Structure 1
Amino acid sequence: MEHRKVLKFLQIIGVIFIIVSLVEIVFIIVMHFTPFTLNGDSILLSEFIYAADIVPLSGTLLWIFLIIASICFLILGFFMYKIILSKKIESWPLAKYMVVLGMVILLGGFVKMNFLV
């Protein structure tokens, strides 16, 4: 009985991972095309970030890391959901460990997206 509850909770965490990742990816895409004014000129945020003469290379690498992290969250969510649908988890401690790990990573994602401060 408890094994099924843990699997159900893991399925919910997987769905939340997918939803949060999709929201974050859409937010990043919309933010790329946001114009803002810098020194009287209106430029897109993507031009500002990827222009080597305005932002140093470390800023561009951090932005690319943020995009890769969002995609990894999406892949992790699909992976967790696929495991639950195939019901391959036989051991209750492994399922419980996956739930705890998923909650910690999800909490980190919320902090990264500034939903929790």
Structure 2
Amino acid sequence: MRDLSHLDPFSRLHGRTQLARPGNWGIQLDPSHDYGTNVTLYPWFQEYVWSYQPPTLIVWGRHDFIFPPDGAYPYLEGLPKAEFQLRGIACLSTRPASTCPALPRASSPLA
């Protein structure tokens, strides 16, 4: 991110308070903590979304090196009506309404 002034200060405060909880520092910083247990839930998750086809907005980081864009496209196979946006990695943290215009619509209870 080039300009940190675009970050919402509340996001940073929220992150710090979550990390400050007893025992949470290691969990929050260990990216492999939940991945092993999440994998076993994939079939259930896939069956649910493919069966019910909920309105879905997929926002993926164009330059994300941990979850590269190739990992997003399989979601579209099971959710052909999903709205897919390949954006900058920090678009949701910095300029959600302008960078991801579908976000307010997707998060609305009336969407």
**Which TM-score tier does this pair reach, normalised by the shorter chain?**
under 0.3
TM normalised by structure 2 equals: 0.22
TM normalised by structure 1 equals: 0.21
Relative contact order higher in (CA < 8 Å, ≥ 6 apart): 1
Larger of the two Rg values belongs to structure = 1
